[in-house]
A and B are shown apart, each in its own frame.
Chain A
Amino acid sequence: MVFNTGSALLDAVVLSVVSREPHGTYGYKITQDVRTVLDVSESTLYPVLRRLQKDECLDVYDVETAGRNRRYYRITPQGRVQLELYKKSWRSYAQSISALLLGEEKS
Chain B
Amino acid sequence: MKKEEFLRELSELLSDLPDVEREEALEFYADYIDDVGDDEEAMRQIGSPALVAQRVKAGLIGNPEESIEYTEQGYKDQFDEQEKAQLTPKARRTASASGERESATSEEKPAKKSRGWLLVLGIIVVLFVGSRIANGVIRYLRYKNAYQNQNNYETYDAWTGWTYEAGAVNTLRIEVNAGNVEIVMDPHDTTYQIRIEETSAVTSQSFDGDTLEIECDASGLALFGDHTVRIAVPNTYLNRVEVEVNAGNVTFDHLMTNKFIAEVNAGNLMVDGLALQGNASIETNAGNAQIRLLGSETSYNYHVDVSLGNVIINGNSFAQLNKSTLIKNEVAYRTIDLTSNMGNIDVTTED
Q: Are A84 and B254 in contact (CB under 8 A)?
A: yes
Q: Is B155 part of the binding interface, using a Cβ–Cβ cutoff of 8 Å?
A: no
List the A residue with the shortest CB-CB distance to B256.
A81
Interface size on B, residues (CB 8 A): 54
B335 to chain A, nearest CB (A): 16
B23 to chain A, nearest CB (A): 11
Give the segment of B74-82, B100-108, B137-145, B213-221 that binds chain A. Answer: B74-82
B126 to chain A, nearest CB (A): 29
Q: Are B235 and A81 in contact (CB under 8 A)?
A: yes
The complex places the Cα of A27 from the Cα of B29 at a distance, in Å, of 9
A36 to chain B, nearest CB (A): 10
Q: Are A5 and B32 in contact (CB under 8 A)?
A: no
List the A residue with the shortest CB-CB distance to B294.
A80
Interface-centre pick from B31, B47, B80, B294 (highest chain A CB count, 10 A) = B31
Q: Are B63 and A2 in contact (CB under 8 A)?
A: no
A48 to chain B, nearest CB (A): 7
Q: Are A41 and B63 in contact (CB under 8 A)?
A: no
Q: CB within 8 Å of B: which residues of A?
A: 1-7, 9-10, 19, 26-29, 31, 37-44, 46-51, 68, 70-71, 77-78, 80-82, 84-86, 88-89, 92
A-B interface, 3 closest residue pairs, ranked by CB to CB distance from nearest: A47-B59, A28-B35, A85-B187
Chosen A-B contacts, 17 in total, with CB atoms closer than 8 Å, are: A2-B69, A2-B71, A5-B69, A6-B65, A7-B63, A27-B35, A28-B32, A31-B32, A40-B68, A41-B80, A42-B45, A44-B77, A46-B52, A50-B28, A50-B56, A51-B63, A77-B256
